[in-house]
Structure 1
Amino acid sequence: MGPWHYLPNPWRQAVLDLPRDRFATLEEIRFRLNRPVYLYGTGWQAPLSEKVVSAEDMERIVAVLAEYSLYARADELSRGYLTLAGGHRVGIAGRAVVVRGHVESVRQISGLNVRVARAVMGPGQALWERIEAEGLPLGGVLLISPPRAGKTTLLRDLIRVLSDQGRRIVVVDERSEISGFGGTGGSGHDLGMHTDVLDGWPKKEGIEVALRTLGPELIAVDELGDGGDLQAVFKARYSGVGMLATVHARSRADLVARREYRECLESGVFDAVVTLAAQPAPGTVTEVWTYGGRR
């Protein structure tokens, strides 16, 4: 189910009334205080309507997206987003409420970025065939790209492909974006026959639980972050478990310039690094390489 179904009217109906080509390629719905709502798609952008978003509108939209329970979603809000069933994420702009040096919540919300998560079948198989053709082992695969270039979509399809080959995979899905985990306890996306999901677990703790209790051959995570995440990745690899992961990086040089990731590459934690681009379409593989030279 698309994220527009969670919006109140008139915005939900306006999105549903889009021309077919616009609807099929819609990537983001942006609400900004005192401005019209804007839509962003593959190669296009356009206003949804001329009506500007008032403070009352913003409050109503946030309440609906949070299912009228902002308190229950406080942890997500403190990290600047809400996740909707289906893996759709709503980024939040506003004033941070900082308590003892940590962001506790967000108030005076001034912007919402409703991102559309789409399941795409095919690129995962093509990538796996390319990795096999390059003669690279499936020990650690890292997908890198700038934001909105298709990392999560490609990771999701690669998980499905490898799982349906019989590999036992555990997805540590901190923000419910890979699986699209729903309130009924089921995944909104097809992740294959042999996949288990740890939904809402921080990556470090989830990787440790997966190693202790679920016996994976591969662990998959999205958007690696600080040193704690990487320490858990090291532990998984040294335990003989493979890793499928993504991280924000604009290029090979950008990734290698970051000391902690350069150390990962030097240690052989990732056997293959896949660089993605948003053009001509999100998820475009521009190169598959290993540290020290392209293969």
Structure 2
Amino acid sequence: MDEKILKFLPDQLAQIIQHRFNSKQLIDLEEIRLRVGRQAQMLFHDREQIIDEYTFKREDATTLLAKISEYSVYRLEEELRNGYITIQGGHRIGISGKVSVESGQVKAVTHVSSFNIRIASERKGAAKHLLNHIAQDQLMNTLLIGPPKSGKTTILRDLIRTVSNGAVTIKPSRVALVDERAEIAASYNGVPQHDVGRRTDVMSDCPKAEGMMMMVRSMSPEVLAVDEIGREEDVVSLMEAIHTGVQVVCSVHGYSMDDLKRRPNLQPLINDEIFNRYIVLSPHPKPGHVIGIYDKSFQQLTTNVRSMTNEVGRSHHDSVHVHVGRNRYS
């Protein structure tokens, strides 16, 4: 486990984890959940582990909040209002507790009683077998569709990195990433903690609609990337950006193409055939499983994209058998 996480955990819990688990056993750890008055819960990809001998106490919660805010809760007031904090290493800590409301808006989260420590992880190569389907020298406008834990963010991050650096089928491009929830680049103090490529500029913790327009105006990107579009204002900004000539790669919550078509806010994107490629993902049997790839007319191109499951999975074993050649771009 990343030492950056261990230093935030209560000492007793950190010691238990270090003694009970080795590094190989922790490779597919996804979350650590801490609730005042209850035992710690560790969530792995396909199982959970309750730490019966440790109970998270109120004083532990107070200490943890002080650590993640660097002993200045006011410094992170905006992040706390959003319900999560990003720490060094790109790990994200969700919080819940009593909410203070003013004029119908969340002012602060007080008396924090639950923490969800989400373990950040990169899967370089997770998107490489999609490239032949979505890139011909330059990236096609692409939309990733999938439910929670289907690997959307992991694949989107790897696409951004690949487009930024260049690969066999795609030239290197300037990428503007609008990372509203700091999940893709996982910026800490403005610096990405994940590798999103050498030509990528990141706008984090900024609403998507405003961020897209800011990046198009100020950073002259060739590719615009954004996670979890869905609101009407997101769609308006996305269409404006496309009309400036940039390529786009985005993700959206959904279970199928039919699910996507039922989303009223997305109809302008669908009707104008903005996306050249739609990629539908599933969390089963593992995150990153490709159900199908479709063109702008919703014609299915393929259901057989090899190695995607293993690429996004957390196995140490590389079961990739497709030769992708050497990068010709640097």
Q: Same fold (TM over 0.5)?
A: yes
CA distance in 1 between counterparts of 2:230 and 2:114 reads 24
Residue 273 of structure 1 corresponds to which residue in structure 2? 278
Give CA-to-partner distance per residue, 1:144-196, whole Å, 9 cap, x none. 2222222111111111111111111011122322123233x532222222111
Change (3 A) 1:262 1:13: farther
Secondary structure, in 3 states, of the residue corresponding to 2:139? coil
Whether the aligned pair in 1 keeps the contact of 2:34 and 2:115 (CA below 8 Å) is yes
Residue 128 of structure 1 corresponds to which residue in structure 2? 131
CA distance in 2 between counterparts of 1:32 and 1:136 reads 50
Q: Say whether residues 1:10 and 2:16 are aligned partners.
A: no
Taking the TM superposition and a 5 Å limit, the aligned residue runs for 1:277-288 are: 277-288=282-293
Change (3 A) 1:13 1:289: farther
Bigger mean CA offset, 11-20 vs 192-201: 11-20
Q: For residue 75 of structure 2, what is the amino acid of its counterpart?
A: A
Taking the TM superposition and a 5 Å limit, the aligned residue runs for 1:166-185 are: 166-183=172-189, 185=190
Give CA-to-partner distance per residue, 1:101-140, whole Å, 9 cap, x none. 11111123232111111111112211212334xx898342
Bigger mean CA offset, 230-239 vs 88-97: 88-97
Whether the aligned pair in 1 keeps the contact of 2:150 and 2:282 (CA below 8 Å) is yes
Whether the aligned pair in 1 keeps the contact of 2:86 and 2:188 (CA below 8 Å) is no
Q: For residue 77 of structure 1, what is the amino acid of its counterpart?
A: L
Bigger mean CA offset, 164-173 vs 11-20: 11-20
CA distance in 2 between counterparts of 1:147 and 1:5 reads 28
Cα RMSD after superposing both structures: 2.1
Secondary structure, in 3 states, of the residue corresponding to 1:279? coil
Secondary structure, in 3 states, of the residue corresponding to 2:148? coil
Q: Say whether residues 1:157 and 2:158 are aligned partners.
A: yes
Q: For residue 177 of structure 1, what is the amino acid of its counterpart?
A: E
Whether the aligned pair in 2 keeps the contact of 1:15 and 1:23 (CA below 8 Å) is no
Q: Say whether residues 1:187 and 2:192 are aligned partners.
A: yes
Change (3 A) 1:5 1:257: farther
Residue 327 of structure 2 corresponds to which residue in structure 1? none
Taking the TM superposition and a 5 Å limit, the aligned residue runs for 1:36-47 are: 36-47=39-50
CA distance in 1 between counterparts of 2:146 and 2:223 reads 22
Q: Which runs of 5 or more structure 1 residues have no equivalent in the other structure?
A: none
Change (3 A) 1:128 1:4: farther
Q: For residue 286 of structure 1, what is the amino acid of its counterpart?
A: I
Residue 250 of structure 2 corresponds to which residue in structure 1? 245
Q: Percent identity?
A: 34
Following superposition, the deviation at residue 39 of structure 1 comes to 0.6
Which TM-score applies when normalising by structure 2? 0.81
CA distance in 2 between counterparts of 1:245 and 1:158 reads 10
Following superposition, the deviation at residue 88 of structure 1 comes to 1.8
Bigger mean CA offset, 139-148 vs 32-41: 139-148
Q: Say whether residues 1:198 and 2:200 are aligned partners.
A: no
Residue 216 of structure 2 corresponds to which residue in structure 1? 211
Secondary structure, in 3 states, of the residue corresponding to 2:74? coil
CA distance in 2 between counterparts of 1:82 and 1:238 reads 35
CA distance in 1 between counterparts of 2:290 and 2:118 reads 22
Following superposition, the deviation at residue 225 of structure 1 comes to 4.0
Following superposition, the deviation at residue 245 of structure 1 comes to 1.4
Give CA-to-partner distance per residue, 1:185-229, whole Å, 9 cap, x none. 532222222111223322222211111111101111122242222
Q: Which runs of 5 or more structure 2 residues have no equivalent in the other structure?
A: 167-171, 302-330
Q: Say whether residues 1:140 and 2:146 are aligned partners.
A: no
Q: For residue 115 of structure 1, what is the amino acid of its counterpart?
A: R
Change (3 A) 1:266 1:50: farther
Taking the TM superposition and a 5 Å limit, the aligned residue runs for 1:14-163 are: 14-17=16-19, 18-132=21-135, 138-163=139-164
Secondary structure, in 3 states, of the residue corresponding to 1:210? helix
Change (3 A) 1:60 1:202: same
Q: Provide the aligned length of Structure 1 versus Structure 2.
A: 292
CA distance in 1 between counterparts of 2:181 and 2:88 reads 10
CA distance in 2 between counterparts of 1:224 and 1:136 reads 26
Residue 221 of structure 1 corresponds to which residue in structure 2? 226
Q: For residue 44 of structure 1, what is the amino acid of its counterpart?
A: R
Whether the aligned pair in 2 keeps the contact of 1:141 and 1:245 (CA below 8 Å) is yes
Q: Which has the larger radius of gyration?
A: 2
Whether the aligned pair in 2 keeps the contact of 1:136 and 1:272 (CA below 8 Å) is no
Q: For residue 208 of structure 2, what is the amino acid of its counterpart?
A: K
Which TM-score applies when normalising by structure 1? 0.90
